[in-house]
Chain A
Amino acid sequence: MSSETKYSVCTICDIGCQLRSEAEGGKVKRVIAHDNPMLASNICFKGVAAPSIHNHEDRIRTPLKRVGERGEDKWEAISYEQAMTEIAERLKTVVDEYGPESFAVSTSGWNTQTTHATDRRFMNLLGSPNWISGVSLCAGNTAAVNKLTYGWFPMGDFGNANCIVLFGHNPRKHSWTPIYNQLNAARKRGAKIIVLDPRVSDQAEQSDLHLRVRAGTDAAMCLGWLKVIFDEHLYDEAFVRDWCVGFEELKARVDEYPLDRVEAITGVDQALIAEAARMYATADGAIIPWTPITDMQISSTSAIRLHSILRAVTGNLDVVGGETLGGFNQSYIPESELALHQALSDEQKAKQLGFDDHPAYTYRVAEMLKDQTEKVWGYPYADIVMGCHMANPSNVFRAMATGDPYPVKAFFVLGNNALMSYPNQHQILKAMMNQDLIVAHEIFMTPTAMLADYVLPGDVFTERNHIADSWSWTTRLALSQKIVEPPEGASSTFEFWRDLANAFGFGEHFPWGTLEELLDYRLSRSGRTFADFEQAGYMEMQTPEFRKYRKTGFATPSGKVELSSSILDELGFDPLPYYREGPALSEAYPYAVFSGVREDPFFQTGQRNIAELRQRCPVPSIFIHPTDAEKEALVEGDWVKIQTAYGEVTAKLAVQASMKQGHLRVPHGWWYPELRGKVALAGAFLSSDAVLCSDDDEFLDHEQGIPHFKGYPGRIIKTQKPADFESSAYAVGS
């Protein structure tokens, strides 16, 4: 039997490693390393497991229609055509009764990849602004907040940086693998690594400086660094003078954070704080790469802005070895354009949930930045990492559950286990139970899909052609080739939205018959087709241009780096960064719970049904310091519950000296596919961290409205192994 090998961009996680896929007899057989030595080490065991995922017997292969009660997980198989006809009719009914804003979509671009913004395009033509995504907690929100300060979301120049600062970020061989490899390369050539993490992580062990910061206090730490940098004149005075506004106001704010105060907040010795600040500020090229940790804190907007400010005042913005503002790739039409954001009226944009109370990543800010964005970057909407035109998820789920401020009655989820991907899982369940129409587009039957009216099977990266562009975060284009056919009943997200658009009479805006025609369109700016691109090579990068601001200014209202944000000021928020203490610990809930932890074998809520990955981590573990374990009379391997005022999670205990005392770590996204049919929603409420954290205002960042996942109050108690686990092949006997 003949086999063939093609180039792939892996989508098992969000990092997008370039690999090769081998197929034989119409099936993917192996995923192997790239043949270019520069890319060959970018592979992890999740990518290697792709054939087991893509060929899995439980993969959804036929469109399904609910026949039981919602969530009962009873289905009949129907044709794709019948499914799309009925979905379109039912969506029209909802829109006619409640208006287009009653339609919400939740998706993960990491998983679906080939939407090409056709979801936003359809929604904008229909009139709905209520698109949400997990990127509201992870990179997308960082992109939007970065734009407040200098109008784009930079990418660190790992190859030339001499100092790299990791705020809780812990890339490992099998998690964020390319970043792990870049860190190792930087370390080898002598770059300094500073890690800020409550625990002794893998990266912390190898760091030059490790600051064991108390969880959730990143903003205070950054203010302390600025205090040192300003007091010791370690900033780029010429850049600050010529290209920044609000320096004196910022300096006055920073003076409110002397190092003894910062030490008291963060728990880090002030001499170490000062040493780290000096190391960062005096390096000839330093970066603070994006981190998911700062994305999910009660002072997240301030902390992300403080990263931006540190980059700017130390002269590390848009320079070699610093963090570059790439702009749009000039040869590939970006999703920002494909989305047709200009087609959505101002009136509908103003209805976006979150627009009024938590506007940082909504249309409200996007519209305020529009003119300068067009002037600097050539197009008014810059939706970097999909995160700059979003509704607020908590507001959307509240509206779905209660009808406040208006009803949301149709909810589509694509490649996204929404039930478990946002805070306050209880409210999300209530919201989904209150829907007239739920459509899931998925490859496996997730707890979210179990709540749907229709489940449409999706495709995977070996079954479709694609050119990955990092959603404009970088200017790199990477080839991903189709090597096998998708299941007969499967559709790409592009096909799903195109067919729905045709049913709604938007066909003229969706003129592409195939995904390849859409790729041809996206490449048309460079006079090429997908076939041309595929023939030429597997990757191309735009020649970098540094310090572009000297020609164009920055894409902010002032045209400069806004140390004091005019947009936040106009919106009624504090224009200067600040530190806000998270919810207080108490006698009843004495531990700082740190959730959202990523385990190497899994990406978010996925892959628990993949044996070769699950065997690496059969059950979830809650991590605790030995002293705390002793105090609670707990030992390694005990079954325990973490409880908060909002919910509880059951898992096994892992006692680790690397933990910081007073902290508990909870992994993200656990459910039990093997319990499907035995336990409601396959155990989605047994061990999911999303039940623990509230989305009441007390728990939310003001400007974005994102939750405080890093250090909320909880307690730990011993429990018995849950009876529900008795039928699990993975948890038995333990």
Chain B
Amino acid sequence: MVGEDFEALYRAHVGQVYGLCLRLTGQVALAEDCTQECFIAAWRALPGFEGRSQFSTWLHRIAVNAVLSQRRRRHNDPLREASELDGEALGLPGGAEAADTIDVERALRRLPPGARDVLVLVGVYGHSHEECAAMLGIAIGTSKAQLHRARRLLATQLDIGLETA
């Protein structure tokens, strides 16, 4: 694959990868770093991509790896607290709908990391529990339990129901 082809792949997928990284890390700068690491790692691993999974799933797995590595490196960093998310950081236009979206994003960020990771991967990006468990290195049962916990916490935070009324 030549550089131009890879750049086209990058342009097509950067939104999702960055969105995933931002929701998992909670920090713009870290999300940017993880996104760059993800695409650099993807470039190196591309010859080994066998097409058994969707390209986006494969890329998300690399992105999650980058985020987990970043977390390990920053484990003792006192500045690891999440920065404030606003519409600008999320690239959202103004308006009531954007305000609701920001509310949900902020509630996501207040979740415990384990629950948030699963909710982002399964609830937002539509991965199966099998894929989510493989990406995070946890058991499938743990993924299901974390999702249940995360949905309940989110419903409480946003004062909404678990199921559609």
> Is the A/B pair a real complex?
no
